[in-house]
Structure 1
Amino acid sequence: MVQGPTFYMAGAFFPSWMVCLAGAIVIVLILRLIFIRTGLDDLLTFRLMTYTAMVVAIAFALALLIYGR
């Protein structure tokens, strides 16, 4: 039986994708602050979709880089 990577935190097992998703959210929040300071945030037309797509793309990239085989 093949099982995906999990982490033991706070008495429970969490799937690795949750850790990657949390990391991606933190990275996008930092990127958003940078975008606001540089004025790039004002140029985005669909901010919600853009930031959501960034979170998903970064989460996938983290999962591939850390757990990819």
Structure 2
Amino acid sequence: MSCLSIGVAACSASPSRNILGSYFPTWMVCALLGIVVVVVIRGVLVKTGIDATLPVPVIVYLSMWTAATLAIWLLWLA
């Protein structure tokens, strides 16, 4: 029974940030920052002409968003 209580007690608090008096989950803030990073990267790629040569832009940008979101999460919370 004690092993079960240890597993449940570990989930008592989730990481959240107080933004303008409301608590937002940290993953949501990291995802929004990841979108901002990818928009900036896309602007650079469009200016340099690399955007036109991407094989599957949707997959490339989705992968960049995932990588940026996870990198922000690791840098912020690690």
Instruction: Count the aligned residue pairs.
Output: 68
The answer as to 2:14 corresponding to 1:4 is yes
* Aligned mates of 1:4, 1:49 — CA distance in 2: 30
Which residue in the other structure is 1:37 paired with?
47
* Aligned mates of 2:61, 2:50 — CA distance in 1: 13
Report the structure number with the largest CA radius of gyration: 2
Structure 1: 4+ residue segments shifted above 4 A: none
* Aligned mates of 2:54, 2:26 — CA distance in 1: 31
Which segments of 5 or more consecutive residues in structure 2 lack a partner in the other structure? Answer: 1-8
Shift of 1:10: 4.1
Structure 1 stretch displaced more, 18-27 or 7-16: 7-16
TM-score normalised according to structure 2 size: 0.78
* Aligned mates of 2:37, 2:59 — CA distance in 1: 16
TM-score normalised according to structure 1 size: 0.87
Tell me how large the CA RMSD over aligned residues is. 1.3
